[in-house]
Amino acid sequence: MSTPVSLAQTGRDHTAAVVARVREATEDVFGAPREVRAAAAACVRPGGGERRPVAGDLAALRPLLWARLRGSHLPALIASIGFIAAPGLLADAPWYLVWWRENPSGGPVQLLRDMDPASSAFYDYTHWDWYTGPSSGAERTICGPYVDYLCTDEYSLTLSVPVAAGGGFAGVAAADVFVRRFEGAVFPALREIPGPAFLVNAEGRVIASNTASWVAGSVYRGAEGFGVRRVGDLPLSLVTAAR
C-alpha cells in the first residue's frame, strides 16, 4: 500500500464515520463465532476420566448455529456458520466440521464434506486462511473476498476465531458473510465521502467501494494521491483519495 497521506476533512469526518460503521458491522458478525467458540469449547472439554470428545458431542451446537442464522440481529449478513475441529480432536472422527448455511426456502442446510484422508475428494480445511490464522494464534481473522465454491458459490468473507479447550488449540469457529451484503451494510457511509473511497483487506483486495473504478475483488497496491487509514485493530484499511 502507499504511504498514508493527509486526508481532507470537509465538515464532519466522513472517514471516521465509515471506520465506525465497518467496525460495528464486523464486530457484530464476530460476536457470533465468539458465541460458537464458547459453546464448542464446552462440548469438547475433557470430561470425567479424561474421556476424549466424539462427534456426537457437537450435536449440542445445532440450536445455537440455527439461531444465529435465523434470529441474529444481523440475519442479513451471516450466511453460514459453524465449528471446524482441529485434526485429531475427536476420538471417532479425526477430521470433522459442523457447518450450517441459510436456506431461503426452508430451514438451514448442513454442509457435508468428504473427511476421509484416503479419498480423492478429501476436504483438507487446514490450509485455508480462515483456519491457519486462528491456528497460528490470531484472535480475529478475516479471509476474503473469495468465491466460496465449497459452500454457497457466492463471493464471500469468512470471519474466524480460535477455539481452545483442555489447554490447547481445539479448532476454529467461523461465519461466512456475502460480500454483496457486507458492501450493502457499509455503502451508505462510504457514499458520504466526497471522492473515491474503498475498503481493503490486509492483502489490498477491495471488499467494498463507492466507485466503479475500484470494484470488490480488485487489488490496490498503492496509488499516487490516495491515503490509507486502518480500521481500528482489524486487518482492514480504508483507502480514500486525497483532496
- pLDDT tens, position by position, 28-38: 999 999 999 99
At 8, the pLDDT band (50, 70, 90 cuts) reads very low
State the DSSP code for 28: H
At 13, the pLDDT band (50, 70, 90 cuts) reads confident
Question: All domains of the chain, ordered by start, with CATH?
Answer: 14-21+187-241 (no CATH), 27-180 (3.30.450.20)
The C-alpha cell at 116 is 476421509
Alpha carbon distances (Å) from 17 to 20, 187, 192, 211, 229: 5, 11, 9, 18, 12
At 1, the pLDDT band (50, 70, 90 cuts) reads very low
In this structure, of 92-96, 132-136, 151-155, 218-222, the range with the lowest mean pLDDT score is: 151-155
pLDDT of residue 3 exceeding 80, the answer is no
pLDDT of residue 177 exceeding 50, the answer is yes
CB of 44 within 8 A of CB of 165?
A: yes
Q: Which amino acid is at 211?
A: T
At 71, the pLDDT band (50, 70, 90 cuts) reads low
CB of 186 within 8 A of CB of 236?
A: no
**pLDDT number for residue 12:** 52
At 48, the pLDDT band (50, 70, 90 cuts) reads low
| Nearest CA-CA partner of 25 in 223, 207, 213 | 207
Rounded average pLDDT over 195-215? 96
